[in-house]
Amino acid sequence: MRTRQDNTEEQIRSLRQENERNRNLQTIQNQLALARQQKATLEQQKTELQNRNNILETERIGLVRIQDQFHPLQSNHTQLRRDFAAIQQQLRHLQGQHEILTANYTKLERTKNCSDVNKHLPSCAVIRQWGYTESGHAMIDPDGQGGVKPFMVYCDMHSDPSTGITVVENELQPNMTIQGCNGQGCLSVDVTYKGATMEQIEALMSISIACEQKIRYDCQDSKLLKEGTAWWESRTGQRMNYWGGAAP
């Protein structure tokens, strides 16, 4: 016959077993949930891998197509290299012929002296355009027939390679000694030109881009450039006070 104490112990054991089963069940449920979660993660990773695999396959197909296109291009590149080498060889041949023609042309040009011009051209610049590249004296006619008479000038063909410079020579000595004096304008020197009147020079100036008259003055402790000490007069007799290429 069981006592009350025996019943109580039996109930306690039953409760413990029930609790143990519940804990085991909860553990299994947790493990099952974790397994489901891991399965979902694996499914997601599988999907991502499939997508990447699809992308890689697409890129592989693209690379295959590029390779198929590259082979003809490579063949074309080889042919282009051959054509380029042939063009370079032709260019070297043409350059050699050009050098020969240039040398022959230079020899021909050197034989043309401006003094050999058999007609009166307007200026030395025009004479150079006609192919005369050696400096020398020549007759020019700036305003053509019916204007001033032709006159003799010196054509400088070397100072400026692009044109001929018309030089109207003056009658001053290359080096001229003058005696010093005191006072403003106490000494004057007239500049006259060889074989050309002022009317002829003005006709030349009218067709020229620029004109200049150079005078060199060598003296120590000179007061030439002092204000009011010296000046020069234009062809119209106007007093000019600027020197050395300065603006009027």
Q: Is the pTM of this model over 0.75?
A: no
What are the tens digits of pLDDT across the range 69-106? 877 777 788 888 889 999 999 999 999 989 888 887 76
Instruction: Give the DSSP letter string of 125-189.
Output: HHHHHTT--B-EEEEE-TT-TTSSPPEEEEEE-SSSTTS-EEE--BSS-SS-------STT----
- End-to-end CA gap in the chain: 149
* pLDDT tens by residue, 101-138: 888 776 655 556 666 666 789 999 999 998 888 899 99
How far is the C-alpha of 156 from the C-alpha of 136, rounded, in Å?
7
The amino acid present at 159, given as its one-letter code, is: S
Query: Are the beta carbons of 211 and 201 closer than 8 angstroms?
Result: no
